[in-house]
Structure formats: structure tokens, C-alpha cells
């Protein structure tokens, strides 16, 4: 076997760092696959948990907001309205939880071996994306049950998935780096996830927010992501509030690039602090 020799030079350039990311892509695949297998190991129903949790959340939100509060759902059945928002939200919230603890969970590897540390939190995002794909089966089942057929807008869904990826990776990198230096974040992240669920338009349409508050409401980057998913999946009279969507996308872009910047800034300290 021909093993390539890796020389670690002092003051490695930024360009070399990104080349190293490609060289260590097999480690990325390994970490992602390992975390996927471990996630539901020794559970009785295994990957079915990826279906049960979002399904029960959808049922609760449908009863509370659809049946009791009687909030509008446009041309779509209320369960589909809710689940089209649960998909990106659970992807995002799951990524935050996985990323925030990813570096600490791999402390032995980080303290002993050189590799681009960016691999660890980004591989953790893949675990949440697998749950996202599995949960998508519920959405397909709901569409079949209600005989709901999306229109041409469904072709734009990959674009909104990319935006959700950017939001998840950006926020995840911030929390992963902060959690290494300030372990308080292990307690803060669950609160952020829980609080974010209720201030995001998951159980209801963002159209119920008064017009004068919609731009301010869109300071939450997930508002634009969720509205994009609903616009693509529901079609019909589903709309996107363009000023708010532009603000959300701008904030996602800021979080993504600033997350990479902060992570790279703190990366050299990880082995010593962790």
C-alpha cells in the first residue's frame, strides 16, 4: 500500500487548509457514518424514532393551532402545513444539538491527531440531514392521505434545503466553538432549541403575523427558511414575504460565513482547551 506522507508546515495557508479538508474526506465519511449508526444503537425501534418524534409534534400542533385556535392554513390541510415547517426546523435544531457537542465528544481524536477540525461539526450536520430525509416519508404519506399534489414550485425545494444547510452549518460552527471554551453552552443550546420552536412559524403560518411586524419577525433566520419550504411544498396561495425572506437569507449568509471565520479563529486552541 502506498501511503502518502503528510507534512504539517508552520503557518499553513488558508488555501492549504481547504485542500486538507478534501484530503481528509474519508474521515468525514467515517465520522458521519459512525454517528448515524450510534444514534439509535440499542434502541428497540431504531430509526423509527426519526418518524415518531416529528409525527407526534405535528399531531400536537395540528390540534392546538388548527383545531382549537382555528388558524388558517390556506389551500393545504393543516397537518401538511405544519409538517412542511417541521422538516427544516427539526433539521436545524438537530444540527445545533449535534454540532454543539461534536468537538467535546471527539476530544481524544482532536487532542492527538492533526486534521481539519471543521470536519467534526460538519459531519454532525449530516446526521441531522439523515433524520430530515427519513422524516420526509411522513410528508409523502400525508400528501397521499389527503390526495395533495404539489405544483411546479416543488422543483425549487433543493434551493431552500441548501439555505437550511447554510443556517445549520453556520450556527452549528458558532456553538461548537463556543462550547469548547464555555461549557455553559451545553445547557444553553437545549433552551435555544426549545424557545426557537415556539417563536418560529412551525405550528402556524407566518401570514398570521401582523404586516407591520413581519419584517421584524424575519430577524429570526428560520422564518425565511420555513416560508421557503412552505412556498415550494404547498404551492397554491402560499406566498413568501419578499422583504422578510431577503432579510432571513442575508442573516443566514452572515451566520454561515461568520461561523466559519470564528471556528477557524478558535480552531488552533481546541487541542489545548478541550
- Give percent of the chain above pLDDT 90: 70
Task: Give the list of residues 6+ apart from residue 167 with CB closer than 8 angstroms, or none.
Answer: 92, 221, 222, 225, 252, 255, 256
Counted domains in the chain: 1
127 is written with which cell numbers? 446526521
Residue 186 pLDDT: 86
Report if residue 146 sits inside a domain.
yes
Report if residue 15 sits inside a domain.
no
Inform me whether the pLDDT recorded for 68 exceeds 90. Answer: yes
5-9, 102-106, 207-211, 262-266: lowest mean pLDDT where?
5-9
Report if residue 48 sits inside a domain.
yes
Report if residue 222 sits inside a domain.
yes
Residue 44 pLDDT: 64
Q: Which of 126, 118, 40 is nearest to 91 (CA)?
A: 126
Inform me whether the pLDDT recorded for 8 exceeds 70. Answer: no
Report if residue 2 sits inside a domain.
no
Over range 156-177, report the average pLDDT.
96
| Angstrom distance (rounded) from CA 95 to CA 127 | 8
pLDDT confidence tier of residue 272, bands split at 50, 70 and 90? confident
Residue 9 pLDDT: 47
Report if residue 11 sits inside a domain.
no
Report if residue 14 sits inside a domain.
no
Report if residue 21 sits inside a domain.
no
Q: What is the DSSP string of 228-243?
A: HHHHHHH-TT----HH
Q: What is the pLDDT of residues 107-156, one digit of tens each?
A: 888 888 888 999 999 999 999 999 999 999 999 999 999 999 999 999 99
Provide the domain limits for residue 264.
28-273
Amino acid at each position: 500500500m502506498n501511503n502518502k506522507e503528510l507534512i504539517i508546515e508552520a503557518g499553513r495557508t488558508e488555501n492549504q487548509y481547504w485542500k486538507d479538508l478534501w484530503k481528509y474526506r474519508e474521515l468525514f465519511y467515517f465520522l458521519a457514518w459512525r454517528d448515524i449508526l450510534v444514534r439509535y444503537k440499542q434502541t428497540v425501534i431504531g430509526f423509527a424514532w426519526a418518524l415518531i418524534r416529528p409525527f407526534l409534534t405535528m399531531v400536537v400542533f395540528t390540534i392546538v393551532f388548527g383545531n382549537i385556535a382555528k388558524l388558517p392554513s390556506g389551500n393545504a390541510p393543516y397537518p401538511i402545513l405544519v409538517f412542511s415547517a417541521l422538516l427544516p426546523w427539526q433539521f436545524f435544531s438537530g444540527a445545533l444539538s449535534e454540532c454543539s457537542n461534536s468537538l467535546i465528544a471527539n476530544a481524544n481524536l482532536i487532542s492527538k491527531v492533526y486534521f481539519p477540525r471543521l470536519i467534526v461539526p460538519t459531519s454532525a450536520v449530516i446526521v441531522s440531514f439523515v433524520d430530515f430525509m427519513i422524516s420526509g416519508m411522513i410528508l409523502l404519506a400525508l400528501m397521499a392521505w389527503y390526495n395533495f399534489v404539489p405544483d411546479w414550485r416543488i422543483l425549487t425545494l433543493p434551493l431552500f434545503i441548501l439555505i437550511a444547510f447554510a443556517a445549520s452549518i453556520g450556527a452549528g460552527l458558532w456553538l461548537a466553538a463556543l462550547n469548547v471554551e464555555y461549557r455553559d453552552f451545553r445547557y444553553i443550546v437545549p433552551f435555544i432549541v426549545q424557545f426557537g420552536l415556539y417563536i418560529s412559524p412551525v405550528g402556524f403560518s407566518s401570514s398570521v403575523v401582523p404586516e407591520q411586524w413581519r419584517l421584524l419577525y424575519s430577524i429570526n433566520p428560520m422564518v425565511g427558511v420555513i416560508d421557503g419550504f412552505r412556498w415550494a411544498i404547498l404551492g397554491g396561495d402560499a406566498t413568501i414575504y419578499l422583504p422578510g425572506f431577503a432579510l432571513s437569507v442575508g442573516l443566514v449568509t452572515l451566520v454561515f460565513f461568520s461561523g466559519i471565520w470564528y471556528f477557524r479563529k478558535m480552531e488552533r486552541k481546541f487541542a489545548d482547551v478541550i
